[in-house]
Amino acid sequence: MKILVGMKRVVDFNVRIQVKKDGSGVELAGVKLGLNPFDEIALEEALRIREKGMQAEVIALSIGPADVQQQLRTALAMGADRAVLVETADAVQPLMAARILLEMAKRENADLVILGKQAIDDDCNQTGQMLAALWDRPQATFASAVELKDKTLKVTREVDAGLEVIEVDLPAVVTTDLRLNTPRFVKMPDIMKAKSKPLATVKLAELNVAAAPALEAVSYAAPVPRKGGHKVESVQALVKELHDRGVLS
Amino acid sequence: MQIQRDVMTYDFVVVGAGPAGLAFAIRLKQLAPEKTVCILEKGSQVGAHILSGCVMDPIAMDRLLPDWRKHPPAICVPAAKDEFVLLTKTGRVRLPTPPQMHNRGNFIVSLGSLCAWLATQAEGLGVDVFPGFSAAVPLIEGGKVIGVRCGDMGLQKDGTPGPNFAAGADIHAGVTVLAEGCRGSVSKRLIKEFQLDRDCSPQTYGIGLKELWRVPAGRVQPGLIQHSIGWPLDTKTYGGSFLYHLDQDRVYVGFVAGLDYEDPEFKPFEAFQQFKNHPSVKALLEGGEIQAAGARTIVEGGIQSLPKLEMPGAILIGDAAGTLNVPKIKGVHLAMRSGMLAAKHLTESGTSAGFDARWRTSPCAKELRKVRNIRPGFRWGMWVGLVNAAIETATFGLLPWTLKNHADWSNLKKKGRIENHVDYVERTLPPRDRLASVYFAATSHDEHQPAHLKVSDTNICATKCAEEFDNPCTRFCPANVYEMVEDAGKKRLQINAANCVHCKACDIKDPYEIITWTTPEGGSGPNYQNL
């Protein structure tokens, strides 16, 4: 079987995000970029399926500028068999990403597409669902456990009320939640091996995908800093203060 | 349990992707492209653990990569004007700028960004750069260094392997090049093991703290370089401040204090924050915001504290040895040049033997010898230090004596022996405290791993140290790693290892020499940007 894993490059989770001075976006100059942590979980799950003895090929796929190759090399070092970069300099919105993934899933004849439930930069949580709809295949989102049996996948989902267990037929789309697994550490010899693994680049223009920016970013702003609290002398003073601020009536 | 380790073999392994290590690897590949070399870097990416002023003398860059000015690194502002001032609590007196501190032709850079830039050049030449992998311990066989062992990943709190355990690889190399920077943990072990410091003074250090600010438009004068001495330090404590004006309304503000300070109550972090609240500095910063912050120790011992630079199978370069020029407040050019000289030496001779003698006859050694007596003169206070510096400068360092250094920890006076000289103001600028500051260092350590700060005898903390020195670790650490907490009526040391910004001050200044800084899991630590 073929497992396609979406890997998005995002601003590293350790970075303190700073909004550009003119409010047009987030400062990216000199900022550390890395793989979206949920996508690392997705890749780890794909590798575990393969390591359980399934005849599986794991393909890491990313969309972005040419230097995203660096992050794809990391995916190869983790254990992906090969990688594909759909190259574009433009920002990619969820619907666009879903259309690209659909095209690539068809090209690769994928049996399973595993994606992070969301990317930590825009927190959209849409791409997986959109892909399933466009592809007209089942989706299993927020997965915290995955079990493969022949052509069906038993997935435990993290839902508001607790855990929900569903079964879906392959091909299907799975999006990963935090508890699904802990991604492995990359080993040094594997970094060296990754250098010679196949990494193909496809120009976005070569794909049969219609560009359709559906969302427009109006402005970016940092959250208003929280004002420091202060101590009051007595309960009466506290009640008065709450009244004055209109919290109590 | 027998741990299976991967073994990788290179002609040369470099520990640390700083200016020295990167210059070494680049020069090596220029001279001998067929040689294999890898660089281990404990930071999550190259530059993540690098913090420096930094006004760079471009001599080394010009020689290493003559075209570098055509595609400069991200932050690179030509020096415009120097100012040297003496601060009092409310005033500011302009002094003549000492000749070593003139910066015409130099550049204000972010050393972190410069190293990231150099790493790209190195990779282009075929160097394997491994960020996120720390060199934990040296490998020694038959009295010779044969390489280093990388730190294990995925250990649990008790030191046993967790579910994601990955054993650190052994890197074997013909010669191991130690370029860890100030107070490197592997270098420290090897200096001791091979007694490299047998014939020199103890190394001495300072602690530097730095912030990157973006201030309201119109205040910054790009290229302006300001240094101060005096307040908030008393005249017995060596140190001073820097303000380096960048472009785009950004400014580097920093403070360095000699770790040979005597007062156990002294707080380097507080001194830095006080400086920022001096009326002349506050006027620049007020209304601005901090973009990044951090701290790192720097070597100050000079040539008389320089250990032997070679041992069988390994060499020391840059500040792992201590090649910084203190009166010039510059180390990058010397670190890079020591790396370049090492590359030349190793390609010509193939062995570490002879590198020490070669460096000591190089122009770098001459540069350090000339200024050797300036920093130690400040042991008698700021005024004597300044007069001594003027004499040493006027006589080109030709006076027939060499002042000795003493270990920083040994200078600490017992509590109550020092009159308190602090004359501080009320602070209004952020950060409020050290924890708020650590936030700007973006430091992260997986909390499940064993604490990487090893205290060999914690009983001393609550008893002897509390009585004699009032636990100075709770004050000299810029990241609030060390705390004395009450537990069932008894005081005990708590180590908040996850806060650590890898400055190494504790390893240096602890008066009982019981704190040892070791490498945490690779990729842990600060994530400095543009520092």
Say yes or no: B235 contacts chain A, CB-CB below 8 A. Answer: no
Beta bridge partner(s), residue B38: B13, B128
Chain B residues in contact with A30 by the CB 8 A cut-off are 74-75, 110, 113, 529-530
Tokens of B1: 């349990």
B247, B245, B244, B249: which is closest to B287 by C-alpha?
B249
Chain A residues in contact with B8 by the CB 8 A cut-off are 188-189, 192
Residues 160-189 of B with CB under 8 A from A: 163-164, 166, 169
* Residue B74 to residue A182, Cβ atoms within 8 A: no
Question: What count of other Cβ atoms lies within 10 Å of the Cβ of residue A56?
Answer: 19
Q: Which residue among A14, A29, A185 places its CB closest to the CB of B164? A: A185
* Residues B444, B527 contacting (CB under 8 angstroms): yes
Per-residue pLDDT, A15: 86
Decide: helix, strand or coil at residue B492.
strand
> B56 vs chain A: nearest CA distance in angstroms?
19
Question: What count of other Cβ atoms lies within 10 Å of the Cβ of residue B490?
Answer: 8
* Residue B150 to residue A188, Cβ atoms within 8 A: yes
Q: Which residue among A29, A185, A192 places its CB closest to the CB of B166? A: A185
Q: Which residue among A30, A188, A191 places its CB closest to the CB of B74? A: A30
B478, B470, B466: which is closest to B270 by C-alpha?
B478
Q: Which residue among B6, B74, B440 places its CB closest to the CB of A189? A: B6
Chain B residues in contact with A16 by the CB 8 A cut-off are 292, 439-440, 442
Nearest CA in chain B to A44: B164
Tokens of A116: 């992070």
* Domain boundaries for CATH 3.50.50.60 within chain B: 7-67+113-201+302-370
**Tell me, what's the ipTM?**
0.87
Query: CA angle at residue A111 from A108 to A117, to 5 degrees?
Result: 100
B338, B369, B372: which is closest to B356 by C-alpha?
B338
* Residue B130 to residue A188, Cβ atoms within 8 A: yes
Q: Which residue among B45, B169, B214 places its CB closest to the CB of A188? A: B169
Residues 72-131 of A with CB under 8 A from B: none
Write down the mean pLDDT value for chain A. 93
* B148-200 pLDDT, tens digit each: 999 999 999 999 999 999 999 999 999 999 999 999 999 999 999 999 999 99
For testing contact with chain B, the best of A70, A185, A226 (most B CBs within 10 A): A185
Tokens of B339: 């790396």
* A84-141 pLDDT, tens digit each: 999 999 889 999 999 999 999 999 999 999 999 999 999 999 999 999 999 999 999 9
Distance CA A77, CA B132 (A): 14
Check residue B465 and report its DSSP letter: I
Which of the four pLDDT bands, split at 50, 70 and 90, describes residue A7? Answer: very high
Distance CA A128, CA A139 (A): 8
The residues of chain B scoring below 70 in pLDDT are: 1, 420-421
Distance CA B112, CA A68 (A): 21
Question: What count of other Cβ atoms lies within 10 Å of the Cβ of residue B157?
Answer: 11
Distance CA B211, CA B215 (A): 12
pTM: 0.93
* Residues B501, B294 contacting (CB under 8 angstroms): yes
Nearest CA in chain B to A190: B6
Per-residue pLDDT, B421: 66
Tokens of B277: 């609240």
Per-residue pLDDT, B420: 67
Q: What are phi and psi of A189, to 5 degrees?
A: -60, -30
What CATH number labels B7-67+113-201+302-370?
3.50.50.60
Q: Which residue among A32, A184, A187 places its CB closest to the CB of B527? A: A32
> B248 vs chain A: nearest CA distance in angstroms?
10
Query: What domains appear along chain A, each with residue ranges and CATH number?
Result: 2-244 (3.40.50.620)
Helices H / strands E in chain B, number of each = 15, 24
Per-residue pLDDT, A228: 79
* Residue A184 to residue B44, Cβ atoms within 8 A: no
